[in-house]
Amino acid sequence: MSEAADNTAESARQDNVTRILDAAERLFRHYGYYKTNVADIAKDLGMSPANVYRFFSSKAEIHQALAQRMLDAGYEVALAIARLPVSAEERLRRYGHAMHNMTVETMLDQEKVHEMVVVAIEEAWPVIDAHVTRLDQVITSIISDGIEAGEFPPQDAESAGRCFSASLAILIHPQMVTQCLMKQNRPGAEELIEFALKAVKN
């Protein structure tokens, strides 16, 4: 098979993968993860379940691919913030608010999306751990910039990045946000982010 034919075949495969993921996400959002099966996805696409299984071995695999797509969107936001031509402190501040807003708007405002995320977290999928690691790396890079620019005192940037990330978990973790967002005896996003920034600056 020629290279051009290989490229055409791969493009066709990716088109089918995208169509399946789009249909799955649409059905998961409407009916919920547990109430949707591969046969429903196939029916929505006008294809047989066997054809869906050519691209994904199970509903769980489809779900993992969807989770990866959602997490990639968050990662791109974090990267864009890390590249902004503003101070490291301001980038960390914007990162905290952006990640919190994404959790609230994308996951919590849509109950069925939240259900998908909870399943992924409870089953400890590798994509979740990998996502946390790469977000920590983005934060570490911002803190390193701040140290180099003299904004932050000399410190272990990698450790500071992990700690900054962990301190904002209550703002970003879907289940924690669900449990704590509306409670009066919990600190708000602004208060937590500023507290975490003070730790990095001191």
Could you say which residues of the chain have pLDDT below 70?
1-7, 106-115, 124, 181-182
Are 79 and 167 members of one domain? yes
Global pTM? 0.82
| Long-range contacts at 7-15 (CB < 8 A, ≥ 24 apart) | 13/55
Rg (CA), the chain: 20
The residues, ordered by sequence, that sit 6+ positions from 45 with a Cβ below 8 Å of its Cβ are: 19, 20, 23, 52
According to the model, what pLDDT value does residue 102 have? 86
Residue ending a domain, choose from 57, 79, 99? 57
Do 189 and 100 meet the contact criterion of CB atoms below 8 Å apart?
Answer: yes
From the number of C-beta atoms within 10 Å of its C-beta (0-12, 13-18, 19+), residue 60 rates as middle
Domain that residue 29 falls in:
1-57
Instruction: Indicate which CATH number applies to the domain containing 13.
Output: 1.10.10.60
Q: 10 Å Cβ neighbour count for 3? A: 7
Are 86 and 185 members of one domain? yes
